[in-house]
Amino acid sequence: MFTAINTDSAPPFIHSVEVGSVDPFPALRYCLVSFTARDYHDGLFDEWGIPFPGPLNSAVVKRRAEYLAARYAAQRVLRSFGCDATPGSAPDRSPVWPSGWRGSLSHSHEWALAVVAPEASGLTPGVDIEFLAPEMIQRTAHLFTTPQERECLAASRIDEASALLMTFSAKESLYKALYPDVGRALDFDAASVCHIAPEQQGIALELNRTLSPQRVKGSRIQGYYQLSGNRVITLIA
């Protein structure tokens, strides 16, 4: 799904930086970074020209580090397009993208990911990164899947825990992609996974109810996934 174009680092906080293109969506670019929260300090915001939002004043170091790493990733993608800007943060904590750009952010387990596309591309991306905890994902599967979805996952022949995590992640990506259009948070039953195509790393979801004039019940939305060890990334645009 991802093709790296450039790799580097920004030690000691940022250990690796990977910037590249997104195969299914040529207009999209991504940046994936790994970081260590213990090497975070507030001065990095000024060093990298990233505004420090007021709500972070009461946040723990882990939260500040995640916010900074995700904005750093977004900044790197935008600069690859020639845009010298960084997304801000809305009161609901969703990113506020510079005029003319659309994107999505995610972070988990000291990894952060940003995807960005020009607004003129018509894409509204949603991305999510998760790490596998097999016992937890199987114990909570009933909260975000239906029996019918679990039958679909079993038919894919992907191991159960990974397939469940992909489903959870794909719904997170979908709801991020839909948020600018729908304008509200969605429950996990708003859409169902209806098909997985391992050969194409594809995962399709179907809306279970009408969410907006453009997002009607029965609409199918194609997403993509990348499995790497215990990490899964999903993307919808």
pLDDT tens, position by position, 161-170: 999 999 999 9
- For 122-135, the pLDDT digits (tens) are 999 999 999 999 99
**Long-range CB contacts for residues 12-20, cutoff 8 Å, separation at least 24:** 12/36, 12/39, 13/39, 13/40, 13/41, 13/44, 13/65, 13/68, 13/69, 14/69, 14/72, 17/73, 17/76, 19/76, 19/77, 19/80
Bridge partners of 206, per DSSP, are 192, 220
Say which amino acid occupies 156. S
Q: What pLDDT does 22 receive?
A: 98
The helix (H) or strand (E) run that includes residue 224 is strand 220-228
Q: How far apart are CA 37 and CA 44, in angstroms?
A: 12
Q: How far apart are CA 157 and CA 58, in angstroms?
A: 45
Length of the chain: 237
Mean pLDDT of 150-179: 97
Question: How much of the chain, in percent, has pLDDT values that exceed 70?
Answer: 100
Q: What pLDDT does 137 receive?
A: 97
If pLDDT is split at 50, 70 and 90, which confidence band does 6 have?
very high
Residue 99 makes CB contacts below 8 A (sequence gap 6+) with none
If pLDDT is split at 50, 70 and 90, which confidence band does 83 have?
very high
If pLDDT is split at 50, 70 and 90, which confidence band does 15 have?
very high
Angle separating helix axes 147-155 and 160-182, nearest 10 degrees: 120
| C-beta separation of 218 from 192 below 8 A | no
Average pLDDT over all residues of the chain:
97
Most distant CA pair in the chain, distance: 50
